[in-house]
Amino acid sequence: MMNNWTTDQMPSQQGKRVVITGASSGIGYETARAFADKGAEVVMAIRNIEKGEEVARQLKKEFPGAGIKLMKLDLSDLASVRKFAQEYRQSYDSLDLLINNAGVMTPPFQQTKDGFELQFGSNHLGHFALTGLLLPALNNAPSSRVVTLSSTVMNGARIQFDNLDGGKGYKRVKFYGQSKLANFLFAMELNARLKASGSSAISLGSHPGRANTNLFSLGSGKQTSLPMKIVMKLIGTQSAAMGALPSLYAATFPILKGGEYIGPDGKGGNKGYPKVDKSVLKVYDPQVAKRLWDVSETLTGISYLS
């Protein structure tokens, strides 16, 4: 483990192709920026193409010659996920890195177009479907990786299998924690299944600590309000660039084997430089992970690595 790892130690990504969900702002943007700097071909999988075009212009201005492509993806709509995957496969036959970054946090109760509770549907089920549909492309690249972002709020969370749609009551913070626990369990279960299948691809989890991003706009997608910015300062957040380091480390640090969970090294995992966080082993329950996988296949209609 390297102390105080930053993008300065990130190896060249020339010849690599990376798909990053939610790449137009916050941690996703900083992740895309780092990969563009290191020479990767960056596919920005985003909901708002107009916003993405402005971000792409900024990146190309900063990194002339950077390979940047925008593709529309709405993780709250399985039809959009399927369309994205189909269009990707029509353009490319392989994928080196998939960064499951996008997410919504603690919005008022809403449902996706498919009738799922918004946080579970977007943060987990959308990424579950996307990964499954892109798996053939990942398997066509040597030593590919999937990195799925979770959060410290998964600690103390549980999967409410009898209330996944919020029909029996909805508490926004608990449902956010549930979605982030689902992200973690998915990352670990995916790695186990990849290994069992003989695939060279690996899956890892990461979390950004308390990072200053638009997630704090409570799912609106707008800039964070001034009162919320003050709260964030009081509780001690770090920059989005620092928050992106764990996922960048998970995606590129050479000696990782798969199944690791990367987070900041500071107190409580809230701030700092990336390290392997072994404390989450107490959170991982393989039976819950398997049950979640089976439920996710049923809800999305996508089966893989069975």
**Residue 1, SS3 per DSSP:** coil
Q: Using CA atoms in the order 199, 180, 282, 138, what is the torsion angle rounded to 10 degrees? A: 10
Q: Are strands 17-21 and 41-46 parallel, antiparallel or unpaired?
A: parallel
> What tens digit of pLDDT does each residue of 64-117 get?
999 999 999 999 999 999 999 999 999 999 999 999 999 999 999 999 999 999
**Spatial separation of the C-alpha atoms in residues 19 and 45, rounded to whole Å:** 7
Average pLDDT over residues 178-194: 98
**pLDDT given at position 215:** 55
Strands (E), 82-194: 97-100, 145-149
**pLDDT given at position 305:** 61
**Residue 185, pLDDT above cutoff 70:** yes
Confidence tier at 11 by pLDDT (50, 70, 90) = very high
**pLDDT given at position 232:** 43
Of the candidates 170, 273, 284, 304, the residue annotated as catalytic is 170
The distance between the two most distant Cα atoms of the chain, rounded to a whole number of Å, is 52
**pLDDT given at position 212:** 82
Sign (positive/negative) of CA torsion 3, 5, 157, 297? negative
Cβ atoms within 10 A of the Cβ of 95, count?
25
> What tens digit of pLDDT does each residue of 111-137 get?
999 999 999 999 999 999 999 999 999
DSSP code, position 37: H
**Spatial separation of the C-alpha atoms in residues 138 and 286, rounded to whole Å:** 24
The set of residues, in sequence order, having a beta carbon less than 8 Å from that of 229 and lying 6+ positions away, is 212, 216
Long-range interactions of 2-5: CB distance < 8 A, separation 24+: 2/253, 3/273, 4/273, 5/245, 5/249, 5/253, 5/273, 5/274
> What tens digit of pLDDT does each residue of 146-183 get?
999 999 999 999 999 999 999 999 999 999 999 999 99
**Spatial separation of the C-alpha atoms in residues 127 and 118, rounded to whole Å:** 13
Give me the residue label for tokens 């009551």.
Answer: 169
Confidence tier at 236 by pLDDT (50, 70, 90) = low
**Spatial separation of the C-alpha atoms in residues 145 and 153, rounded to whole Å:** 24
**Residue 226, pLDDT above cutoff 60:** no
**Spatial separation of the C-alpha atoms in residues 110 and 44, rounded to whole Å:** 25
Instruction: Name residue 5's amino acid.
Output: W
**pLDDT given at position 281:** 85
Q: Are strands 97-100 and 67-72 parallel, antiparallel or unpaired?
A: unpaired
State the average pLDDT for the chain. 92
Confidence tier at 306 by pLDDT (50, 70, 90) = low
Structure token pair of residue 182: 């689902």
Q: Answer yes or no: 170 catalytic.
A: yes
Against a cut of 0.85, is the pTM above it?
yes
Using an 8 Å Cβ cutoff, are 97 and 42 in contact? no
CA angle (114, 116, 119) in 5-degree steps: 125
Instruction: Name residue 53's amino acid.
Output: E
Average pLDDT over residues 215-244: 59
Q: In order of start, what are the domains of the chain with their CATH numbers? A: 8-300 (3.40.50.720)
**Residue 44, pLDDT above cutoff 60:** yes
> What tens digit of pLDDT does each residue of 244-302 get?
999 999 999 999 999 999 999 999 899 999 999 999 888 999 999 999 999 999 999 99
